[in-house]
Amino acid sequence: MKDVYIYCNWKIYLDDEQSESLFRSILADLQSVNHYEKGPNINLTIFPATSSLRSLSEINSNSNFANKKLKISIGCQNIHYEKHGAFTGETSIMSIQPYCTSVLVGHSERRNVFGEKNADLNKKTSLIINNDLEPIICIGEPENVSKNDAEAYLREQILSSIANIDISNQVIFAYEPIGSIGTGFATETLDVNSKAEFIKDTLIQNFPDIDLRLIKILYGGSVNSENITDYLSLSNIDGVLIGSSSVVLEKFQMIIDKIISKSHI
């Protein structure tokens, strides 16, 4: 049975009070499934809006939550690629580092709405790794492209994100085809598994020294309680990045129930 990574991107769906309340409910709910036997080990990371990072981190550390099979961490949705300086409105890695373990890099909304470029994302990845945090590099092709074009697009995103970076800690790639994010149209499992294999092959071919055990691959895009175990069962997938289904307590509970009742993931 593999360890699974359940990463929840809360975007700016909730205000601070709602985030704290949902997080407390999630912790209480997970306490009650404290002794599940069958399912896989779960690494759960919540990525709240940046303004809630500190309070969620404090709630987490004060919760005395202890479970050998379930680890709960807090992550950050975005940082600036410079450590400090004159960058009005940005968030520095120094200000979030005490409160989180992971940082998303290049989510498609960052790339498409805010125009982030591969070169900037390489700088962010480097900064995150140099500060001992875990980067989750989000990649994914646009809608309606051919298989060849999709692969070329992904190759460019993969190679540019980690070019000239020494990877000796864990790095996560989140494969999120743009047409599946927030649309309700999750990508077919066969396609997800073959794209995840393509990501691994691209890494091996271009970074011969890379230790694939340090690379984890998540799928993201309209994951919910109905389809989650299909993705977690795929041979090349280690976890999922969940958006809207992770900000509603009942939906989140159904997701966790599905995972812990599955003995063969």
Largest CA distance in the chain: 51
Q: How many CA atoms lie within 13 A of 160 on its CB side?
A: 16
Choice from 48, 106, 179, 220 touching ligand PGA (CB under 6 A): 220
C-alpha–C-alpha distance, residues 86 and 191, integer Å: 43
| 251 near ligand PGA, rule: CB under 6 A | no
**Which one is catalytic: 107, 109, 134, 141?**
107
Look at the block and give the residue holding tokens 């080990």: 41
Q: Which residues of 159-197 are buried (b: 16+ CB within 10 A; e: fewer)?
A: bbbbeebebeebbbbbbbbbbbbeeeebbeeeebbebbe
Choice from 40, 48, 135, 221 touching ligand PGA (CB under 6 A): 221
Q: Are the C-beta atoms of 51 and 11 separated by less than 8 Å?
A: no
Q: Are the C-beta atoms of 36 and 30 separated by less than 8 Å?
A: no
- Piece in contact with ligand PGA (CB under 6 A), picked from 143-151, 227-235, 241-249, 250-258: 241-249
Write the binding mask 130 to 159 for ligand PGA: x where contact by CB under 6 A, - elsewhere. Answer: ------------------------------
Q: Are the C-beta atoms of 46 and 55 separated by less than 8 Å?
A: no
Write the binding mask 176 to 205 for ligand PGA: x where contact by CB under 6 A, - elsewhere. Answer: x----xx-----------------------
- Piece in contact with ligand PGA (CB under 6 A), picked from 118-126, 140-148, 196-204, 217-225: 217-225
* 197 labelled catalytic: no
Choice from 4, 5, 6, 9 touching ligand PGA (CB under 6 A): 9
* 176 labelled catalytic: yes
Name the residues annotated as catalytic: 107, 176
Positions in the binding site for ligand PGA (CB under 6 A): 9, 176, 181-182, 220-223, 241-245
